[in-house]
Structure formats: structure tokens, C-alpha cells
Structure 1
Amino acid sequence: MKGDKDWGISTKAVHAGEIRYNEYGSVTTPIVQTSTFIFKNIDEIKKLAVGAVERFEYGRYGHPTQIAAEHKLAFLEGAEDAVLFSSGMSAITTTLFGLLKSGDHIIITDDAYRRTLEFCKACLVKFDIECTVVKMCDYEAMEKAIKPNTRLFFSESPTNPYLNIMDLERLIGIFKDKGILVVSDSTFATPYNQKPLEYGVDIVIHSATKYLAGHNDLLSGVVLGSKKLVEPVREFLKITGGVIDPNSAYLLIRGLKTFGLRMERLNENGQIVAEGLERHPKISRVYYPGLPSHPHHDVAKAQMKGFGAVVTFEVEGDCEYVLNFLSRLKIINIGPSLGGVESLITHPATISYYDKTRKERLALGIKDGLIRLAVGVENAEDIIADIEQALA
């Protein structure tokens, strides 16, 4: 069963892509834990070689558990095709390598994920692919950065850690008639809250490690879009080998079945926690798209169903005070990821940007008191109380 586009998001999350009547009669899609698929006879090999049959031959080229997960994700995003990877970064790097060639130019926003920026600035240049970094949401700068050889624009929305929101209609208006591909990392939004493809974005990427899997127990990335654009990425994956393993694909399917339920709770918790923190006297500022104080609140309201579960805030005090605050938390765990059922908190200055000087960090907007909270599905009042007692 592939699914019905008219199904609700939770019905898609549970049923789309599933192998409904598999040979074992199991209600769950089986974990096909094998590296190699054997042939009954030589005729089967000949049919595969000429494209007369569709079947599996080697794990790096795909396996049944992966395909079921890909179909489910495609239905959730409203995409024609999807391809899974062993991590979100593998999805990003393989996509860029698969769609770009020597002599091309790309534009990327300045608060894209740190490792994505590093890849574009330090790795792509080795292959004679030029990269221009522009300020997030500076649409005039984006337009001015276009060159005759510009092939691709890459951004995120919302971004990390300030949760800036790209106006997708305005963005597409810049690149639509210029033959430039628009790629959006929509990890923080998820297909529950925002569907960039509906606005004209060409390719959507997710770190499926986060909200899609939802349980902090696997690594995966996914690329979604039209078959025409996804296919060259899939073919490049067969060369580079960043394929998702069967067990992780199964865990992703399992996590996705509660996707709608989790996102409903996470959106609710994110809003409650953000509003609670904004009232706290020891917190100088809160960044959350669902708050009227956020600079892109109106854009977020117009194009998002919900505002997610990442809440970034600034604590009044130096690094020592902030680290003591983190150490006093009893429910919220200290960790650099997000999107799971457990609340996680991180101090970007010491965890993500530990290799930068304070001057370099401040130039990037990473202040000493900056905290990123990935709200989980616990009771919102307990999350707020934990933060309050740690700040006391």
C-alpha cells in the first residue's frame, strides 16, 4: 500500500508506504536485514539487467524496509519521490554533489546549519563550485548574489538557533524564472507544520534523526521532491554509499506512526514554554515564532500550521552562571540534538562553538547567555518548573 493523498496526516503516518500484505502476515513492515538479495536463476538476472522486473539486488542500492519508509515520508511531505540516507548531513552533501558540477555557483544563507556552511565554504570550493553566503531573510542581498552560473539556492526555515523564518512566497519570486533550484532544509518545521514544496521549493531536506523518527535512537536524512530531481541524488547515493540500514529504517517507520500525535503535543508544549519563559525575570529574551515578539511572527502565522518545539532564550549572566544553571536541571537533559520525546537543552557557546574564540562566537550571534531548548512531550508545567528551579 502506498497511500491516498486525501488521507489526514496521522493516517498517512500510520499506513502510507506500508507493505500491507507481506509474505509473513506481520502487521509491521519487516526488517529485511541482509546485504545481498539472491536470484533463483539466471533468467532473473537477465530480466533485472534489461529492466523487465523491479527487484532488489544489493543493500547499497535499496532494500524493502527503506522503500516503505521512503513512501511514507513522500506522502507526509506531499512529494513525488523521496530517498533516505544514513544521516541528515549525508542527505545534504549527496544532494549538492548530485545536482552541482564544476563551475557552478550556489547561494546559502548565513545561519544555515554550521556543518552545512562548512561543507559549502570548505569542500565545494575544492571542486570549483563557488559559494556566496548571504544574510538570512535579506531578500535584496539574495537577488544581488545571483550570477550567470548560479545553479542552486540553499536555506533553512526555521533556522538554528534563532528560529528565523523564510518568507517562501517572496523567496520563490526571486528564483522562480531564473532556472535556479531552491533547496530548503525543513527539519525544524517538519511536514506537519510547513510544506515548502507547496510554495514552489524544488527540494526539501530533513534530518530524519529529529522529529520524524522522534525517539533519539537513530540517524537518518531524507531528500524529497520530484522524481526528476530526486533520481540523480539517488544515483549519486549508490556511488557514495550513505544508505540507511534496515534496522534504522524500521525504527524510523515505527517512530513515524506517532508523528501526528507527537507534533500536536510538541507544538502545544513549545508555545506554553515559550510564553512562560518570556515572563521570567532572569530571561532577557525569548526567540520563538509563535510569540508576537519574534521578528518573523507574521510570516510564521501565514505559512505554518504550528511553531514547533525549539525555544531559544537568553539568560542574564555570564558563562559560569549559565553552565551552573544547566547543571541544576533535573528533568531536562543536556544534549545537542532535538526532536525527540525527551526535552534536551544545549549551550551553543560551549557545545556547538567550543572551537571558536569568544570574539568569533559573538560575531556569529552566539552570545554567552544563549540557550537552545528542544521541548519534549513531558508536561509543559513540569518543564517550566524545572527551568525555574534551576535559575533560582
Structure 2
Amino acid sequence: MSEPDDRLETRLIHAGEPQPRFGGAVAMPVFQSSTFAIDGDAGYHDLRYIRLNNTPNHLALAEKLAAIEGADAALVTSSGMAAVSTTLLSLLGAGGHLLAQRELYGGTHGFITRDLPRLGITHTFIDAGDPSTWAAALQPSTRVLYVEAISNPLVRIGDLAAAATFARQHGLVSIIDATFATPVNLRPLTLGFDLVLHSATKYLNGHTDIVAGAVVGRAALIETIKHLLDHLGGSLDPHACFLLHRGLKTLALRVRHQSASALALARWLERHPAVAAVHYPGLETHPDHTRARAWFSGFGGVLSFELRGGVEAADRLIARTRLMTHAPSLGGPETLLTRPATASHAGLTPDERQRTGVTEGLLRLCVGLEATEDLIADLERGLE
């Protein structure tokens, strides 16, 4: 069993593990049962049932997630977008107003701009790096402030500490999507955030074989979100819980390698004559490098860059690389290379992409677990 003063690596292995172990099993078993016997007088949300996210697999996983974030409670969901959408719906409601940073993952941006308005929920996009402009965007119905730890795909870092403070001063719930950062590189609750969201599909699982989400934070908020999730049905399958539980145990090792490899690749690209710009917070030339050094233990495994030849050069590089798979997502053992304009941000209009700085030729590189030297050689071949 993990103790509160255990280091992250130890908590990843031992937190949430059942005591005593089920049948002596060292690995958490899969409880592939939709229904469990009623024990005493349980309310609806406490009945043991897969859709209610409270099977032994769900509970062990939630305890581990809460422990590694230093939180009161946690909740797993069927996808990262299930975590985002259920959290926002449970905290806003008809007539509510949301402050959100301008540069967002495409799916989150689409949900905020296209789905929430149909429910009577409005929003204002803010510059996450300029706290002096936030107060002007407040409305009497503002209830939530939403930011990302590292934006996708330009890997910008807003004034996170100021965001948590601003929300607290104005009675807002502060939410941060920390998918790119992971608990290895950033602990948002220590900055004062109320809730941390993850697309657990990515680094938390780390094996490119499930889709999952997580919400971590204050117990009262987690309970509110769970009750809506119970009704919406966005529960995670027990076998997916098992795979995520397994993947978390190697999180620290994986993320530290990916962060170190991404920094080496970013430095190499920055020196290459065919490269026009490199976006990575670990570089001293990145506009948010000072913030990254202040709050992050590592700079993450995602970088983006632009070639001097524009879209044609970008597509040529994708076609020529041998080790880099042309596919969306991130956080797995494989290195993935995409053009966000045709992948993560394809759902945005050209004008929306332009406003968020996502050019047509921008490339996003999500570094995997291959040898860094081999990835550099692959890029070199592709850029010849």
C-alpha cells in the first residue's frame, strides 16, 4: 500500500492496489462483470454496476490516479472527450458562461463552440498568457475557467499560476487539461487548480491500445461530475481499466525518456537549414520557456515545427520517414508525425485554425520510445 510521502514512482506502482490482494494476484485482476450483489442499503449512485464507474477495477484505478496527482478523488471515463464534456456540462448548466484559453485541442474547441451554445451555454476565449485581459471577459454568469497545461499543437504555456489564482478570486472552478504534461512533469493541484483532466488514451496508458479519460480533484466536484457521468453512460470498460492500471506503472520511466528525446530532437531541428521554426518549451528560444522551467519537471514529448517548403515539404517529409508513423494521437511507444490541419484540428475552419496559429504546413511530432539517435537519423533522411 502506498503512503502519502512516497515518491511518484512508488505511488504509480503501489497506490490503489487492493489489500489484501484478490486471491493473492500481484496484478490487478479484471472484473468482467456488469453487475454486483447489493451489500446493505445503497443509494442509486452507489450500486455496484459498470455504468456507475464503481467496480473494483474502477475504484482501484481512481485511487491510484488521485494518489499520483495529490488529489482527494478521481474518476475514469470512456474517453478524454467524455471527461471534458461531462465536466463542463456538470459545472455550467443552461445560462452558464465559460472562460477558455484560445488555443485548445480541436475536439474541445468544437464542443465549446458548436455543442454548448445549443444548450444555452456561452463562452469567451482568452489569451492564457495575458492575465491583465481576463477580468474584462468576466460575466455575471461566468462559472468556469478552462486552460490547457501545454497547448496543442503549438505547445504554448499560459500563466497557469495566475489562472488558478484568478479563478479563486472570482469564485470560478478552475480546470486544466494536463494531458501533455502528465503528473510526471506537472502537478496542477499544487498551483491551486480545482480539477485536472487527462485524455488517459495518451501518456497515462502509454500503449496505443485503449481510449480513456480521467478527472481528478476535489471530492465534492468529482461527486457532482460522477452523478452526471452515471446518467450519460460514459463509463470505462473493466478491461480498459485493467490496461490503464497496468500502463500507469511505467509512466515515469516513459515520460522522462520521451521528454529527454523530444528536447534532443527539437535542438537538432532548430539547427537544420530546411526548418523555418521549432515550437518546444524546452528550447531557450520558446516564448514560454521561463514559465516551463518554473513549473515543469520536464518539457514533454510533443513538439511542432514548420519547414521552409510549406505544405509540400511537410507532406514530403511524412512520406519519406521510416520510423515515424503518420497517425493522430500521442503518448504511446511509437513516434507519430502529423499535420494538425488535417488531423487534430481538421474540424476547425481555416479561419479558426489561422486565429489559433495552426498553419497548413505545421507538423506535430509526438515522440515515442525509440532510440533518439534513430529518430534523428529518420528525420535527416526525410529532410534530404
TM-score bracket for the superposition, by shorter chain length = over 0.9
CA offsets 1:85-121 (integer angstroms, 9 cap, x no match): 0000000000011112222111111111111121112
Give unmatched runs, 5+ long, in structure 1. Answer: none
How much has 1:174 moved relative to structure 2?
Answer: 2.1
Q: Secondary structure at the match of 1:7?
A: coil
Q: Which residue, out of 35, 41, 49, partners 1:48?
A: 41
* 2:234 is aligned with 1:235: no
* 2:255 is aligned with 1:255: no
Displaced runs of 4+ in structure 1, greater than 3 A? Answer: 352-364
CA offsets 1:211-260 (integer angstroms, 9 cap, x no match): 10011111110001010111100111110010000000000011111111
Which shifted more, 183-192 or 159-168? 159-168
**Distance verdict in 2 for CA 1:358–1:172, change over 3 Å:** closer
The separation in 2 between residues aligned to 1:227 and 1:288, in whole angstroms, is 34
CA-atom RMSD, angstroms? 1.8
- What is the correspondence of 1:1-392 to structure 2 with a 5 Å cutoff? 1=1, 3-39=2-38, 44=39, 47-49=40-42, 57-61=48-52, 62-354=54-346, 361-392=353-384
The separation in 2 between residues aligned to 1:125 and 1:355, in whole angstroms, is 17
Q: Is the 8 A contact 1:83 1:223 kept in 2?
A: yes
Look up the equivalent residue of 1:58 and give its one-letter code. Answer: Y
The separation in 1 between residues aligned to 2:75 and 2:8, in whole angstroms, is 20
How much has 1:364 moved relative to structure 2?
Answer: 3.5
The separation in 1 between residues aligned to 2:350 and 2:48, in whole angstroms, is 52
The separation in 1 between residues aligned to 2:7 and 2:350, in whole angstroms, is 48
The separation in 2 between residues aligned to 1:355 and 1:108, in whole angstroms, is 18
Look up the equivalent residue of 1:29 and give its one-letter code. Answer: M
Which shifted more, 110-119 or 201-210? 110-119
How much has 1:356 moved relative to structure 2?
Answer: 5.9
TM-score normalised by length of structure 2: 0.95
Q: Secondary structure at the match of 2:364?
A: strand
TM-score normalised by length of structure 1: 0.94
The separation in 1 between residues aligned to 2:275 and 2:198, in whole angstroms, is 31
**Distance verdict in 2 for CA 1:338–1:23, change over 3 Å:** closer
How much has 1:358 moved relative to structure 2?
Answer: 5.2
Q: Is the 8 A contact 2:106 2:347 kept in 1?
A: no
* Structure showing greater Rg: 1
How much has 1:342 moved relative to structure 2?
Answer: 1.0
Give unmatched runs, 5+ long, in structure 2. Answer: none
Q: Secondary structure at the match of 1:372?
A: strand
The separation in 2 between residues aligned to 1:297 and 1:234, in whole angstroms, is 36
How much has 1:134 moved relative to structure 2?
Answer: 1.7
Which shifted more, 243-252 or 361-370? 361-370
Q: Secondary structure at the match of 2:234?
A: coil
How much has 1:55 moved relative to structure 2?
Answer: 7.2
Which shifted more, 295-304 or 94-103? 94-103
The separation in 2 between residues aligned to 1:359 and 1:161, in whole angstroms, is 16
Q: Secondary structure at the match of 1:102?
A: coil
The separation in 2 between residues aligned to 1:87 and 1:293, in whole angstroms, is 35
Which shifted more, 316-325 or 3-12? 316-325
Q: Is the 8 A contact 1:86 1:220 kept in 2?
A: yes
> How many residues are paired up?
383
Look up the equivalent residue of 2:127 and give its one-letter code. Answer: K
Q: Secondary structure at the match of 1:322?
A: helix
Which shifted more, 193-202 or 113-122? 113-122
Q: Is the 8 A contact 1:316 1:369 kept in 2?
A: no
**Distance verdict in 2 for CA 1:82–1:132, change over 3 Å:** same
Q: Is the 8 A contact 2:174 2:195 kept in 1?
A: yes
Look up the equivalent residue of 2:51 and give its one-letter code. Answer: R
